[in-house]
Each structure stands twice: as structure tokens, then as C-alpha cells.
Amino acid sequence: MSGTGAEISLVGAVNLALKRAMADDPAVLVLGEDVGIDGGVFRATEGLWQLYGETRVLDTPLAEVSIAGVAIGLAAQGFRPVAEIQFTGFAYPCVDQMINHASRLRTRTQGRLTCPMVLRSPGGGGIRAIEHHSESPEAIFAHMPGLRVVMPSSPARAYGLLLSAIRDPDPVVFIEPTRLYRAAREAVADTGEGLPLDTCFVLREGRDLTLVSWGAMLKETLEAADLLSDQGIAAEVIDVATLKPLDEKTILDSVARTGRVVVVQEAPITCGYGAEIAARVATGALTSLLAPIQRVAGCDTVMPYPRTEEHYMPSAARIVAAANRVMAYT
């Protein structure tokens, strides 16, 4: 997909995927606060209202629980709604709708109805925002049976994964790393081709150590892999991409080769998604491990205000330090 299209940012890739999905399928609708004429708070829906009008691009009241509820109702009636929540800190009111209705519709109706909706939202910190604008709730949504949870880390993967999420017959929570929205540009061809869900992506191969991460933290993880390379340590880097269901085979196969693993997440450490990956590795690759599994994570605090945000966010230096600990273990 890369290399043949225009270079665009991650938020540009989201916009491109939405345009393509709406062009290909008249059942695809977009709804949320300011997604219409204004094009969304980050301009992810820019131009959609002008292309498809107010019957397919719906500006909603400032009521997140209503946005999720309307999307579920539309999905049950044969539409494919893509609901935008302006920041994941405002997605918590949607948890009731997603737990009690979206995730259960298939089993509740014994397969008579499904819920082909996407709840997409910018998430994570690093943009020096105020409270509720830097949350990392992926573990909360991943804990719910019946929901897929996807988090892209590049423009190409944002385009391909969002197309596949919209085409999926069941509900998907699609969390877009806010600080990567305009951090880099990449060539993305508008082919309409989706990328596989439920699959990890190996971004860098290595023999000594496995680094596992997702979303915005791939930036620091890849930087750490470069620093480790300078030390003569070859780190394999895995982008989880779809957190639920987890492609554990790719991770376990990597650990079987390297024997060492560091999991990197931005969310608070306790009960974070890194604990799930560590448990899967301990269960499925225990005899391959040459050192205890390390986790690098945010703190068990509310995301701090901008001046101290950098002290909360895992850095490449912290990842390198964790990698050196597992490499030194004998």
C-alpha cells in the first residue's frame, strides 16, 4: 500500500478511509459532535458533509451516551455507523452502551442481529491537553467480550485497519493516537484495500529481544530499538495493532526466538493491557524465557497537566533501561 500514493498524516489517512468507505457503501454513516460542517475537532471528517450531505454525516448534540446509543440502533437496522467521540476521556459514558448493548447484540438475538458499528476516538497523551483529553482506556474496552479494539500506529495502518473495522460485522472500538495525528507523513494509496484485523505487525526483526507495543508508544519503542542497535542488541519490534482479539502467535513465536520480552504501554501499569500480554507469554512461552518479562508503562495516576506530562509518558530511555535489565539477567 505504501509508496504509490500521496504522503499524508495519520489523521489524513483516517479521513481518506472514511471517504473511501462512504463512497463504496451507502450504508456507511458518520455521526458525532462537530463532524459535519466543521469537519471534526481534529478535521478527521473534513469534507465528508460537503460530499455526502446531512443525511449521511450527522452533527449530534454534546451527549456521548446518545452518540453510542444512536449508532447501535442504526447498526441494528442495517447501517454501518462510524461514531466519533472527540476525546477518549469522554468515551466513558459510552461504556454502558458498548457493554450492555453493542457487544451483546449478536448473542442476545442468537445471531439474528449484529452490530456493525465503529466507535472511533483520539486517545492518549503527549499533546499537552487538559484533563480528560489524554486518556488510555484500551484495557477497559478490551475487557468486554464482543468488542474488537484496534489502535493504529501509522498512516498506512490507520487507513487499512479503519476500512476493515468499518466492514466488520461486529462492533469495533478504534482508538487513534492523538500525538501521532500529524507527527509524520507516509505514502498511502487509496486502493480501498483493508488490512487484516486481529493480526500483529512485525515492524523490525531482531534476534536478542522482543519489544511489544501499540499506538503512539511505537514511536518511542522504535527509537529504543535504534539505541539498542548502537549497543549491539538486535530488538524485534511488534505492533499489536488489534488488542482484542490478540494475535498471540506472532508474539509467542518472537519470544521463542529471542527469549526476552519488554511490553511498552502508555496507560497506567496496574491492570493495563501489558499485563495481559505478559500473562499470555508466561503461559505460552515460559520455557523460552531467559529473563523475567518487563513492563514499561505510565504511572498509576491521573494523566498530569501539561508541565509534568513528560514525566508520566514512557520514554525511549526507560525502554532501553528495561531492555538492558532483561539482557543482563542470567
Q: Is 210 left (phi over 0), alpha (psi -120 to 50) or beta?
A: beta
- Does the structure show a pLDDT above 50 at 153? yes
> Which strands form 235-239's sheet, in the order they lie side by side?
201-204, 235-239, 209-213, 261-268, 294-298
Structure confidence by residue, pLDDT tens digits, 179-196: 999 999 999 999 999 999
Q: Tell me, what's the pLDDT at 113?
A: 95
pTM of structure: 0.96
- Does the structure show a pLDDT above 60 at 76? yes
Q: How far apart are CA 111 and CA 6, in angstroms?
A: 41
Q: Tell me, what's the pLDDT at 191?
A: 96
Q: How far apart are CA 170 and CA 44, in angstroms?
A: 23
- Does the structure show a pLDDT above 80 at 177? yes
- Does the structure show a pLDDT above 70 at 239? yes
Q: What's the whole-number mean pLDDT along residues 96-105?
A: 96
- Does the structure show a pLDDT above 80 at 3? no
Q: Tell me, what's the pLDDT at 2?
A: 45
Q: Tell me, what's the pLDDT at 53?
A: 97
- In degrees, to the nearest 5, what angle opens at C-alpha 194 toward C-alphas 257 and 204? 25
Phi, psi of 127 (to 5 degrees): -115, 15
pLDDT-based confidence at 159, cuts 50/70/90?
very high
Classify strands 118-123 and 80-84 as parallel, antiparallel or unpaired. parallel
pLDDT-based confidence at 304, cuts 50/70/90?
confident
- Does the structure show a pLDDT above 60 at 154? yes
Q: How far apart are CA 205 and CA 209, in angstroms?
A: 10
Q: Tell me, what's the pLDDT at 310?
A: 86
Q: Tell me, what's the pLDDT at 330?
A: 79
Most confident among 84-93, 261-270, 297-306 (mean pLDDT): 261-270
Q: What is the average pLDDT score of the chain? A: 96
Q: Does the active-site annotation cover 101?
A: no
Which of the following is catalytic: 101, 132, 133, 311?
Answer: 133
Q: Any idea which of 248-262, 284-298, 303-317 has the lowest mean pLDDT?
A: 303-317
